[in-house]
């Protein structure tokens, strides 16, 4: 009674106390209360208490539902019958509401049915029990109908802490009782006020999608009731749900598929098609139109393979879907977008035609189908292209509305690409050019109506990858128009992006540099107009310099002034620091096309406006350099990184990095404490190493000496990341072995001292992540240096401590490192070091396996299951019988209250099969089941982890 009063007081505080602190405290107390075993009795008592208010009833019904779903195993086995009896009484008590309470009680009863075997309910399981209850107590039918509705839904509710085997049994149990359930629902149809509820329950049972032949459903009273209700004044949600589920049911694999379900399809399709006229009925309620559109979209999605044959009957459905696509409301029109995509996929992919035999027959049929659907996709282009037009008041739109508009544009882009795949890019372009030409007249009428032209250009840009580079009919006209359009910011932005999208066409154009020169002038206007148009122009510049580099490389000096204006501060361009990187990339790609001697000079020129500000800062002494905001340095260093990345002249870049090293070293020495600057600088060095490779000469030695010394002082993770790149490039070079050995021993000794317990891993996950990425690189590129080193055993010990860190990237890097160790034989030269590896891994095998099993069963989130499983399988394949023995020992520690003997055996058998070489994907089910079983609720998970204790294991010390 005291607890019951406390619950009521806490609920009163939660909903009515004026102080936020009190409300939060009450909420916390109630959440903790729900986890206690007392919550069962208290919630039950308060639900039966006639004085409980609505807030109390809702909370207690949710509590009871949650306890049945997650904590049923807390109760002794003899508690089932009193619990069922109490829930049944509550179901009757609340049979007319409140609806929220009745729903929670219904879900609780359904969850109970999932947890216990059918014989506990009597002959025939819960469905027959329910039938008997409804027969004995017809006055409570509304409450029982809700239970009948939620029952099949709970098959797919993984919040219920049932074992996978029991869940499968429950699904089979309900499947075998479908006929009984449908008979109950048919009998309930006689009560007219229950029709909606009956149909909702019917759609819920159809969702199970098991084996009722179409011939049976086609003449079933429930189906007849739903179909006949389509013609009523207002469409109910229940009717639409039933028809929708029936449509999906006819194509579900386990329902027998289209051939078995054809009698049902032949009943549904004409009834739905009869609603077509209502799509255009302006007097029709919008929600009803949306419901009708949904049914047409469902038919299109479900019967797309039939429709793709191009029969006369299928074209009737296609025309109806075009009708939906033409609806002025985007939410309605967009329901068809998925259909047009799937239809395009079937029409264009060769796999769709393999049944036609030889290549000639395939091509004939493919051409026929494409021709049949040609006009439909032409209409579609016109129907969707206007939807990307900016609204007149776009400048006053809210952030949310602007986001929605952008999403609409992305969706329309996908539809246009689908159309271009069927029609061909050139044919689609001709349609869109007409739209652009028409929109041009709006620009000349004095109203400055740029919106239609911008929309047409957006669509033209969307299909750029599908337009041939030799298209000569409309592309020259479009390019000519682009040069004439007014420089309104939003329109200019799209003009710039369109120019960039057609960079390959510009390269192939016979007009050569004069046309390029004209479009570059437009891009310069874009850079000067607004930040948005400048960003678009910078992106376009990058595309043009990438694709037209051969034409542009002869004009590098003339173009350099554009680059210079884009990267210096206070210029006339409105290019942001971030967007200027596109310009750096653009000109770097042009330099790549130059001969080596010219490239070296051009590279110096490219670096000059970037390096000069850094030299200026350094020249003022260490104190000034140390106090500068990181952004004032990284803006220039990031540009250097792009130069080193995209100028593909290894010797020229190596020469540049050697000349610039004193500047970079000064920043390393003074700013090593600053993570942001160091990350930027290491990224620049990484690209220099990647591009220059073996040409770096003495500079690489200086760089390695610098970072290993600084890492010991400042522990910046990016030093490890840069070392990974060095290992990748120089790992197999015998002349570098000595330097690399010193590097990795220095870095790993320091890292293992930083990561001595799981708390260290949690506090410094980035160091753990980069450390073990580097270790994996060492295994792949220089096992001859890494495996015999003194740091290898301590790094394995370190990985065992950190496997269960919750940080996703750090955990994945550690698991990948261990997998690489187990898979050592697969790496270059790895096989000759197996003896050393085994001397490290075998003494630790029991512990490693136990930590991996603990990770699999709850120490790590279930999203890491695949990575953990691969590590466990790799260990098993490397150590065979020994690893299987380690695994058996680990799972034997888990108490039988959590895992059955059968589940243990299945898991070990899956690992044994993996050891024999069977594909791991086919073995995932038993491994996933062990994981699911051990995570089925908090109590079980705590029992399992308490038995395995992954963080308390004594690590084996290697002398």
Clarify whether residues 857 and 942 are in a common domain: yes
What is the CB-side half-sphere exposure of residue 894 using CA atoms within 13 A? 31
Q: In this structure, what token pair is assigned to residue 789?
A: 């080193």
Of 589, 592, 610, which Cα lies nearest the Cα of 600?
A: 592
pLDDT at 674 over 60: yes
pLDDT at 112 over 50: yes
Spatial separation of the C-alpha atoms in residues 222 and 203, rounded to whole Å? 10
Enumerate helices (H) and strands (E) in the chain, giving the number of each: 52, 0
Spatial separation of the C-alpha atoms in residues 177 and 741, rounded to whole Å? 69
Q: Are 26 and 17 in contact (CB under 8 A)?
A: yes
146-173 tens-digit pLDDT: 999 999 999 888 889 888 888 889 998 9
pLDDT at 830 over 90: no
735-749 tens-digit pLDDT: 888 889 999 999 999
- Say whether the peptide bond before residue 521 is cis (omega within 30 degrees of 0): no
Clarify whether residues 543 and 577 are in a common domain: yes
Mean pLDDT over 348-368 rounds to: 89
- Residue carrying the six token digits 């002025």: 328
Spatial separation of the C-alpha atoms in residues 641 and 584, rounded to whole Å? 10
Task: Phi first, then psi: give them for residue 790, nearest 5 degrees.
Answer: -70, -15
Last residue of a domain, one of 647, 676, 696: 696
User: What band does 676 get if pLDDT is binned at 50, 70 and 90?
Assistant: very high
Mean pLDDT over 719-730 rounds to: 94
Q: Does residue 614 belong to any structural domain of this protein? A: yes
- Residue carrying the six token digits 């796999």: 351
Clarify whether residues 514 and 566 are in a common domain: yes
The pLDDT value recorded for residue 809 is 96
Clarify whether residues 600 and 535 are in a common domain: no
- Residue carrying the six token digits 């695949």: 866
- pTM of structure: 0.87
- Residue carrying the six token digits 């282009």: 381
Q: What is the DSSP string of 774-825?
A: HHHHHHHH-HHHHTTSTHHHHHHHHHHHHTT-S-HHHHHHHHHHHHHHHTGG
The pLDDT value recorded for residue 486 is 87
Clarify whether residues 566 and 617 are in a common domain: no
Of 718, 805, 694, 716, which Cα lies nearest the Cα of 757?
A: 805
Clarify whether residues 674 and 573 are in a common domain: no
User: What band does 919 get if pLDDT is binned at 50, 70 and 90?
Assistant: confident
| Alpha helix segments (H runs only) across 672-716 | 675-692, 698-714
pLDDT at 118 over 50: yes
The pLDDT value recorded for residue 544 is 95
Q: What is the DSSP string of 160-207?
A: S---HHHHHHHHHHHHHTHHHHHHHHHHHTTSGGGHHHHHHHHHHHHT
Mean pLDDT over 666-688 rounds to: 96
Clarify whether residues 583 and 603 are in a common domain: no
Overall number of domains in the chain: 3
pLDDT at 607 over 50: yes
Clarify whether residues 481 and 575 are in a common domain: yes
Q: Does residue 62 belong to any structural domain of this protein? A: no
Q: Does residue 253 belong to any structural domain of this protein? A: no
Clarify whether residues 642 and 566 are in a common domain: no
pLDDT at 959 over 70: no
The pLDDT value recorded for residue 202 is 94
The pLDDT value recorded for residue 447 is 54
The pLDDT value recorded for residue 957 is 36
- Its domain, for residue 682, covers 594-696
pLDDT at 950 over 90: no
The pLDDT value recorded for residue 570 is 67
Last residue of a domain, one of 639, 667, 696: 696
State the maximum Cα–Cα separation within the chain, in Å, rounded to a whole number.
97
The pLDDT value recorded for residue 393 is 80
300-347 tens-digit pLDDT: 999 999 999 999 989 999 999 999 999 999 999 999 999 999 999 999
pLDDT at 953 over 70: no
Spatial separation of the C-alpha atoms in residues 64 and 49, rounded to whole Å? 15
The pLDDT value recorded for residue 444 is 63
The pLDDT value recorded for residue 448 is 64
Clarify whether residues 572 and 623 are in a common domain: no
790-828 tens-digit pLDDT: 999 999 999 999 999 999 999 999 999 999 999 999 887
Last residue of a domain, one of 569, 593, 617: 593
The pLDDT value recorded for residue 123 is 74
What is the CB-side half-sphere exposure of residue 528 using CA atoms within 13 A? 11
Averaged pLDDT of the chain: 91
The pLDDT value recorded for residue 958 is 32
pLDDT at 845 over 90: yes
Clarify whether residues 858 and 939 are in a common domain: yes
Q: Does residue 160 belong to any structural domain of this protein? A: no
Q: In this structure, what token pair is assigned to residue 269?
A: 């399709």
Q: In this structure, what token pair is assigned to residue 333?
A: 């029109």
559-576 tens-digit pLDDT: 888 998 888 876 778 999
Of 502, 511, 483, which Cα lies nearest the Cα of 540?
A: 502
pLDDT at 254 over 80: no
415-440 tens-digit pLDDT: 999 999 999 999 999 999 999 998 88
Of 522, 527, 528, which Cα lies nearest the Cα of 483?
A: 522
Percent of the chain with pLDDT over 90: 72
Q: Are 742 and 733 in contact (CB under 8 A)?
A: no
Q: Does residue 14 belong to any structural domain of this protein? A: no
pLDDT at 511 over 80: no
Q: Does residue 432 belong to any structural domain of this protein? A: no
The pLDDT value recorded for residue 512 is 66
The length of the chain in residues reads 959
Of 610, 611, 558, 554, which Cα lies nearest the Cα of 584?
A: 610
- SS3 readout for 370-410: HHHCHHHHHHHHHHHHHHHCCCCCHHHCCHHHHHHHHHHHH
- Residue carrying the six token digits 């091509």: 363
Least confident of 232-236, 248-252, 492-496, 668-672: 232-236
Q: Does residue 581 belong to any structural domain of this protein? A: yes
Q: In this structure, what token pair is assigned to residue 821?
A: 């160790």
Q: In this structure, what token pair is assigned to residue 232?
A: 């009523």
Clarify whether residues 630 and 692 are in a common domain: yes
619 contact partners, CB below 8 Å, separation of at least 6: none
User: What band does 542 get if pLDDT is binned at 50, 70 and 90?
Assistant: very high
Q: Does residue 66 belong to any structural domain of this protein? A: no
């Amino acid at each position: 009674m005291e607890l019951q009063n406390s619950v009521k007081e806490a609920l009163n505080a939660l909903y009515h106390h004026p102080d936020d602190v009190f409300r939060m405290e009450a909420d916390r107390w109630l959440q903790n209360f729900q986890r206690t075993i007392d919550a069962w009795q208290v919630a039950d008592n308060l639900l039966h208490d006639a004085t409980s208010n609505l807030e109390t009833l809702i909370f207690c019904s949710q509590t009871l539902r949650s306890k049945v779903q997650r904590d049923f195993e807390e109760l002794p086995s003899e508690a089932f019958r009193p619990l069922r009896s109490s829930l049944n009484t509550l179901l009757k008590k609340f049979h007319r509401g409140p609806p929220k309470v009745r729903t929670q009680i219904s879900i609780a009863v359904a969850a109970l049915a999932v947890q216990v075997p059918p014989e506990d309910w009597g002959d025939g399981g819960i469905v027959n029990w329910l039938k008997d209850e409804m027969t004995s107590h017809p006055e409570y039918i509304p409450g029982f109908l809700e239970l009948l509705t939620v029952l099949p839904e709970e098959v797919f509710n993984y919040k219920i802490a049932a074992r996978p085997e029991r869940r499968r049994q429950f699904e089979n149990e309900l499947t075998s009782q479908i006929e009984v359930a449908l008979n109950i629902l048919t009998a309930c149809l006689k009560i007219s006020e229950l029709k909606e509820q009956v149909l909702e329950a019917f759609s819920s049972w159809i969702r199970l999608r098991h084996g009722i032949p179409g011939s049976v459903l086609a003449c079933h009273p429930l189906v007849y009731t739903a179909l006949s209700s389509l013609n009523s004044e207002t469409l109910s949600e229940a009717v639409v749900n039933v028809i929708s589920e029936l449509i999906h049911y006819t194509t579900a694999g386990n329902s027998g598929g289209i051939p078995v379900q054809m009698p049902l399809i032949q009943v549904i399709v004409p009834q739905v098609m009869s609603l077509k006229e209502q799509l255009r009925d302006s007097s029709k309620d919008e929600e009803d139109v949306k419901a009708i559109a949904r049914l047409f979209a469902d038919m299109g999605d479900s019967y797309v393979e039939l429709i793709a044959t191009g029969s006369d009957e299928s074209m009737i459905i296609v025309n109806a879907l075009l009708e939906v696509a033409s609806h002025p409301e985007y939410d309605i029109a967009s329901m068809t977008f998925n259909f047009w995509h799937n239809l395009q996929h079937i029409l264009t992919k060769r796999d769709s035609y393999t049944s036609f035999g030889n290549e000639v027959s395939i091509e004939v049929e493919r051409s026929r189908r494409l021709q049949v659907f040609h006009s439909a996709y032409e209409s579609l282009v016109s129907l969707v292209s206007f939807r990307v037009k900016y609204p007149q008041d776009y400048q006053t739109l809210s952030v949310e509305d602007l986001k929605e508009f952008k999403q609409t544009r992305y969706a329309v882009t996908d539809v246009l690409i689908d159309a271009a795949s069927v029609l061909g890019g050139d044919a689609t372009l001709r349609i869109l050019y007409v739209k652009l030409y028409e929109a041009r007249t709006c620009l000349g009428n004095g109203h400055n109506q740029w919106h239609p032209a911008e929309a047409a250009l957006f669509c033209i840009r969307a299909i750029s990858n599908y337009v041939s580079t030799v298209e000569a009919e409309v592309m020259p006209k479009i390019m000519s128009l682009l040069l004439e359009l007014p420089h309104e910011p939003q329109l200019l932005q799209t003009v710039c992006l369109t120019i960039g999208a057609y960079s390959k066409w510009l390269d192939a154009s016979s007009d050569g540099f004069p046309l390029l020169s004209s479009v570059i002038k437009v891009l310069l206007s874009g850079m000067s107009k607004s930040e948005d148009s400048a960003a678009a122009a910078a992106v376009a510049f990058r595309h043009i310099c990438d694709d037209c580099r051969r034409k542009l490389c002869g004009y590098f000096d003339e173009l350099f002034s554009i680059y210079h204006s884009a990267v210096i501060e206070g210029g006339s361009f409105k290019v942001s620091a971030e967007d200027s990187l596109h310009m750096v990339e653009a000109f770097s790609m042009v330099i790549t096309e130059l001969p080596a001697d010219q490239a070296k000079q051009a590279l110096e020129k490219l670096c000059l406006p970037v390096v000069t500000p850094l030299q200026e800062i350094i020249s003022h002494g260490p104190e000034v350099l140390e106090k500068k905001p990181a952004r004032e340095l990284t803006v220039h260093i990031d540009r250097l990184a792009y130069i080193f990345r995209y100028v593909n002249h290894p010797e020229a870049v190596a020469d540049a990095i050697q000349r610039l090293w004193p500047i970079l070293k000064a920043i390393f020495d003074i700013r090593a404490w600053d993570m942001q600057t160091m990350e930027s600088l290491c990224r620049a060095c990484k690209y220099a190493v990647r591009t220059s490779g073996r040409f770096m000469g003495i500079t690489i030695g200086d760089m390695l000496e610098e970072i290993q010394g600084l890492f010991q002082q400042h522990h910046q993770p990016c030093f490890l990341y840069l070392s990974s790149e060095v290992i990748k490039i120089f790992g197999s070079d015998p002349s570098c072995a000595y330097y690399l050995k010193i590097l990795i021993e220095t870095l790993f000794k320091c890292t293992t001292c930083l990561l001595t317990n799981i708390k260290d891993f949690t506090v410094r996950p980035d160091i753990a992540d980069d450390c073990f990425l580097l270790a994996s690189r060492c295994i792949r590129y220089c096992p001859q240096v890494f495996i015999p080193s003194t740091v290898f055993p301590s790094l394995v010990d370190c990985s065992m401590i950190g496997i269960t860190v919750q940080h996703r990237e750090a955990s994945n890097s550690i698991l990948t490192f261990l997998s690489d160790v187990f898979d050592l034989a697969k790496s270059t030269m790895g096989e000759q070091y197996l003896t050393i590896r085994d001397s490290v891994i075998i003494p630790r095998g029991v512990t490693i396996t136990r930590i991996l099993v603990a990770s699999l069963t709850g120490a790590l989130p279930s999203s890491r299951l695949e990575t953990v499983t691969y590590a466990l399988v790799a260990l098993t394949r490397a150590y065979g019988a020994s690893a299987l023995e380690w695994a058996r020992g680990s799972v034997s520690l888990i108490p039988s209250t959590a895992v059955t003997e059968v589940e243990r055996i299945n898991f070990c058998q899956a690992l044994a099969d993996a050891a024999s070489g069977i594909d791991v994907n086919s073995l995932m089910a038993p491994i996933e089941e062990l994981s699911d079983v051990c995570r089925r609720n908090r109590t079980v998970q705590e029992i399992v982890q308490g038995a395995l204790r992954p963080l308390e294991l004594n690590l084996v010390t290697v002398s």
